[in-house]
Amino acid sequence: MTGSPVSRQENSPKRPNDSNGEFKSLLLPETSQSDSDEGLESPADQPDNQVLTVEEDGESTLDSVPPFSWAKLWKFTGPGFLMSIGFLDPGNIEGDLQSGAVAGYSLLWLLLWATLMGLLIQLLSARLGVATGRHLAEICRNEYPSWARILLWFMAEVALIGADIQEVIGSAIALRILTRGFLPIWVGVIITSFDCFLISYLEKCGMRKLEGLFAGLIATMALSFAWMFNETKPSVEELFIGILVPKIGSKTIRQAVGVVGCVITPHNVFLHSALVQSRKTNPKEVNRVQEALNYYNIESTAALFVSFMINLFVTAVFAKGFYGTNQAESIGLVNAGHYLQEKYGGGVFPILYIWGIGLLAAGQSSTITGTYAGQFIMEGFLDLQVEQWLSAFITRSFAIVPTMLVAVMFNRTGSLDVLNEWLNILQSMQIPFAVIPLLTMVSKEHIMGVFKIGPFLEKLAWTVAVFVMTINGYLLLDFFMAEVRGFFVGFLVFGGIIAYISFIIYLVSYRSSQSSSWTSLEMSQRVVSTET
């Protein structure tokens, strides 16, 4: 592990010596920098009417968090909506439609609570990024030994590849729908792969341009699926009952597990802590950090409310059209559009193409954020310094090569849906290797300073994490019991499970040992300072 707790603490927000017990920030000189994005890089300029106090050590502190401002909220708006794409990728869309077709409206309450659990994890990710000025992959590089860091990087890349395959194939399916079957899946994969160069171009134009693109894609999804919702006219009464009344039947357990399992995507946990770096906030200015966190909390909550509504629209449409029908068990991402067309016909705006437009927006937005997350993961864990376009190309190549292979091998409706199940399992397996490091870091005072989460929030976050990991563990067990056959294969799977669980135990125990060692160091420093 590089560095020492003492040296890292100097970069974390500090608790000033205040007899009143108030948290006051260290007022540092503003750094001048060019701002090509209309004040985007430094949204929190110091107001003229702030009261300054001077501590005994001569450092300036701000007396209170600046008041709420709609203008500042707008400047902080962006990272949360990019993060929300992780709740709207084609894998989530398929989970929504299967939940609606098999379980009707009965799992909408679970969708709501799963979104709230995902919101908690993402808010902690943003908290880490703002309070430290570093993102999760960078901090993991400094905190864990080399072998654990490399293994965490590998797990993150595996999860990202699984998500990217789903996203790219989702876009390819949408392109085939919109071209009336003219473009095969593998051609759609090639077309979609070029978005890595689009993100490099937009980054050069400014972060606001990139965020504007995602705003347009999210709006396209919202309008498409809202149009379908209005066209199919689901039961409003049953919808509200589904949201407010918890209910799980024996035949819908698998769909319920899928709803929860799709909420937390590993690469999204890494991504959000990096996205908040686009608004420069000095980690030593405690009140400025708190101000930024307040705005990010509002923005992320609004973004996930939008994502919840889009997921609700999709679930309700398929609940209305296919719940209790013969197609319910066989419906998937590939054939969903054709089932909708058969059910509701053409009209002035055929529902098949509206579905294709919404699916294409979901696929394209998620592939771009996946590429973006891949850059942060690779550069953070491996400390690579390369050109952005080259980093994006390398990251995308990790996913495109296997995606091309599976697109050719699984270019049949049933096979693609089976592939999607395997990919969901693959991503579910990686959740502990993003969530455990996140909760570990936000609980450490030498990293977070005064923004270390309190005991209640820590227990709540770990409860949510354990619940989600248990749900995904059930999904893994159910899947492997159904799919794994033969002694030799079973032996390999058993060995893999032992190694998997051992690494999880290591991450959790490493958290405990580091917390206790830091506490001992801190106590010894206090004793020395008292004696002197």
| pLDDT for position 416 | 65
Residue 30, SS3? Answer: coil
Q: Is the dihedral of CA 141, 146, 152, 153 positive or negative?
A: positive
**Token output for 97:** 């439609």
| pLDDT for position 411 | 60
Identify whether the C-beta of residue 339 lies closer than 8 Å to the C-beta of residue 351.
no
**Domains of the chain: which residue ranges?**
70-441
The CATH architecture to which 70-441 belongs is Orthogonal Bundle (1.10)
| pLDDT for position 17 | 39
Q: Which residues pair with 61 in a beta bridge?
A: 26, 53
| pLDDT for position 521 | 41
Identify whether the C-beta of residue 44 lies closer than 8 Å to the C-beta of residue 292.
yes
Give the C-alpha distances (Å, rounded to integers) separating 413 from 51, 418, 523.
Answer: 65, 9, 62
Per residue in 175-184, pLDDT (tens digit) is 988 988 888 8
Locus of tokens 């050590």: 57
333: phi then psi, degrees, rounded to nearest 5? -65, -35
pTM: 0.81
Identify whether the C-beta of residue 369 lies closer than 8 Å to the C-beta of residue 88.
no
* Separation CA 471–CA 494 (nearest Å): 19
Q: Which residues pair with 62 in a beta bridge?
A: 25, 52
Identify whether the C-beta of residue 170 lies closer than 8 Å to the C-beta of residue 363.
yes
Residues of the chain with pLDDT under 50: 1-12, 14-62, 512-532
| pLDDT for position 311 | 94
Burial class (CB in 10 A: 0-12, 13-18, 19+), 401: exposed
**Token output for 235:** 């039961």
| pLDDT for position 223 | 94
Identify whether the C-beta of residue 118 lies closer than 8 Å to the C-beta of residue 403.
no
Give the C-alpha distances (Å, rounded to integers) separating 68 from 111, 294, 413, 496.
Answer: 31, 9, 51, 51
Q: Where are the alpha helices (DSSP H) in 182-335?
A: 185-193, 195-205, 207-232, 236-244, 253-261, 266-275, 286-322
Identify whether the C-beta of residue 427 lies closer than 8 Å to the C-beta of residue 89.
no
Helical pair 136-143 and 432-442, crossing angle rounded to 10 deg: 80
